[in-house]
Amino acid sequence: MIYFIATFIVFLLVIAAMAIGYIFKKKTISGSCGGLASVGVEKECDCPEPCDNRKKKNQELARLNKLKNDNRII
């Protein structure tokens, strides 16, 4: 029974630490290896059209590539 209580307390401390970190930094938990984009997968779903966030990212990438090709960015 003591192991159960000790484990429960440890889990509560970890959850409290994550909550405090989120409250102060407003940063969510994220993967350390870049997710699916690092292996070349453009999107996670089978939607025929990308979502609004993906459209914005694609437009920004196209703009940056155009500027880079025009030698405006090093």
Residue 61: partners with Cβ closer than 8 Å, 6 or more residues away = none
Indicate the pTM of the whole model: 0.38
Per-residue model confidence as pLDDT tens for the chain (74 residues): 999 999 999 999 999 998 888 888 876 666 666 666 666 666 666 667 777 887 888 889 888 888 887 776 55
Residue 39 CB neighbours (<10 A): 8
Q: Provide the greatest CA pair distance for the chain.
A: 68
CA distance 28 to 66: 32
User: What is the domain partition of the chain in residue ranges?
Assistant: 1-26
